[in-house]
Homo-oligomer: A and B are copies of this chain.
Amino acid sequence: MIVRGTAAPRGDAGPQSALQSPAGPAEEVVIALRVMKFGGSSVADTEKIRNVAIRIAAAREGGDDVVVVLSAMGKTTDGLVALADEISALPAPREMDMLLSTGERISCALVAMALHDLGHEAASFTGSQAGILTDGAHTKAKILEIKPERLRAELANGRVALVAGFQGVSAERNVTTLGRGGSDTTAVALAAALDADVCEIYTDVTGVFTADPRIEAGARKLPLVSHEEMLEMAASGSKVLALRSVEVARLHDVPLHVRSSFAQEEGTWITKETPMMERAFVSGIAHKSDEAKISLLGVEDQPGVAATVFTALADALINVDTIIQNVGVDGRADLSFTVPLPDLRKALDVIEAMGDRLPHRETLSDDQIGKVTLVGEGMRSNPGIAATMFRVLAAEGINIQMIDTSTIRITVVIARSEVERAVRALHEAFDLASEAERRGV
């Protein structure tokens, strides 16, 4: 049982006070509602499943209402995909969804059984039973609406509701799946629909770090980042949270808490609020090593050429990321952009097939690039960050091939072989280890 101000809309008081602050005089006792999401590594075997149940039971015993979203056990989904691959080179998306949606249901049933043995009432639900209505885009469906009445009734009856992640039901009453990062998205969307106090994402790391700890040994866990920072980090290579789940969290102002399934320590809170914002120039460093660069040199500078290129690539389902264009003195432009490495060949084919519709001198490609991104709310008011970043990289002898910025992010494209060195040098230069400690109130 926790206490929060009755008049305060969710988020205004900050998640930590909502879950932890003592009762003030004008406050009313309210049951907190937690959505807890456990990923595949957290339910990889029956022993881990029992540990997850213990974790959920502790939350219930603390007095909170609990909705749990579960992924499929360990490599279950990979196994199902392999079965489909054995059957067909191009399995129908609707059938892939029928197939893949089973893994999360198995997890839910098993966790429910484990909770029963701990003396808690619990029931499992498919995405459809949980009221998760999606569009009909099989294998990559989007959630259109959540009808949470059934889950609310379960909670009102004192039961833990276990919801199969990554899935829903279409208007045509077919099973759909949400694609990559689907279970995170299920959890955040349910938290929004149920007006939950927090959406806890349990994973195999203890939170969001200032940089990848496998590259920078001094990387520290960030106690608090903003939704926008997390969005930029996820888009720039951080794998802790699926990008689309962060988008949903930002849109509906859902406080997220990313933490470890295997440790009790607090993880990283991701909220609208960033009380530390004044001090934080840079929150963290993200990187990517799975992209390639294409450059179109000497493109005739006529209206619509760029649109033509990017429409053709989009039609081929190729996800173009960073784009830069320089117009030269001769009225011709150089257009460079990045694509996922596995799509490079297909992208070059699309460009070649355009022929005369894309008048240009030469196509170059580079499959040896990487990206390093600085993210921080503090950049909004500190334009000097970019200059510092470029100076640090120059001092390391690292050549910058492309630059792309937003108000709270700077991304540079460099040689892939230099990514790790760049991450370490920037982590040191911006003193991120100390910054993380300053945030840890």
Chain A residues engaging chain B, CB cutoff 8 angstroms: 46, 49-50, 80, 83-84, 86-92, 94-96, 98-99, 101-103, 105-106, 108-110, 112-114, 116-117, 123-124, 126, 129, 150, 173-175
| Given A95-B112, A114-B87, A80-B102 contact (CB < 8 Å) | no
8 example contacts (A-B, Cβ-Cβ < 8 A) are as follows: A84-B110, A87-B114, A88-B114, A91-B113, A95-B113, A98-B109, A98-B124, A99-B110
Q: Which of B102, B108, B175 contacts A106 (CB 8 A)?
A: B102
Is A110 in contact with B124, judged by CB distance below 8 angstroms?
no
Cα distance A308–B420 in the bound complex, in angstroms: 81
Q: Judging by beta carbons under 8 Å apart, are A113 and B92 in contact? A: yes
Told that A87-B117, A102-B106, A129-B174 touch, could you supply 12 new A-B pairs with CB distance under 8 A? A46-B83, A49-B87, A84-B110, A92-B112, A94-B123, A95-B110, A95-B113, A95-B123, A95-B124, A98-B105, A102-B105, A126-B175
By a CB distance below 8 angstroms, the chain B residues around A90 are: 117
**Residues of B close to A116: CB separation below 8 A:** 88, 91-92, 95
Q: How far is the CB of A137 from chain B (nearest CB, A)?
A: 16
Q: Among B84, B110, B112, B126, point to the contact of A113 (Cβ < 8 A).
A: B84
User: Is B114 a contact of A46 with CB atoms below 8 Å?
Assistant: no
> Does the CB pair B87–A106 fall under 8 Å?
no
Q: State how many angstroms separate the Cβ of A18 from the closest Cβ of chain B.
A: 32
For A104, give the chain B residue with the smallest CB separation: B102
A117, B46: Cα distance in complex, Å: 37
Distance (Å) between the CB of A149 and the closest chain B CB? Answer: 11
Specify which of B49, B106, B108, B175 is in contact with A80 (CB 8 Å cutoff).
B106
| Copies assembled | 2
By the criterion CB–CB under 8 Å, are B88 and A113 in contact? yes
Nearest residue (CB) in B for A110 is B87
Asked if residues A88 and B102 are in contact (CB atoms below 8 Å), the reply is no
Residues of chain B lying within 8 A (CB to CB) of residue A126: 98, 175
Given A50-B87, A87-B50, A99 and B92 contact (CB-CB distance below 8 Å): no
A123 to B96, CA, bound (A): 11
Contacts of A105 on B, CB cut-off 8 Å? 98-99, 101-102
Min CB distance, A81 to chain B, in Å? 12
**Contact between A108 and B113, CB atoms less than 8 A apart:** no
Chain B residues positioned under 8 Å from A175 (CB to CB): 126
Question: How far in angstroms is the closest Cβ of chain B from A440?
Answer: 37
Find A109's partner among B96, B109, B117 (CB 8 Å cutoff). B96
Q: Which residue of B lies closest to A82 (CB)?
A: B46
| Contacting residues, chain B, for A129 (C-beta < 8 A) | 173-174
Chain B residues in 8 Å Cβ range of A91: 113, 116
Expressed in whole angstroms, the Cα–Cα distance for A83 and B102 within the complex equals 15
Q: Given the complex, which residues of B lie within 8 Å of A87, measured CB to CB?
A: 46, 49-50, 110, 113-114, 117
Partner of A46, one of B46, B86, B173: B86
Contact A106 B83 (CB under 8 A): yes
Instruction: Give the 7 A-B CB pairs with smallest separation, nearest first.
Output: A102-B102, A99-B109, A98-B109, A46-B86, A88-B113, A91-B113, A95-B109
**Cα(A88)–Cα(B118), bound, Å:** 10
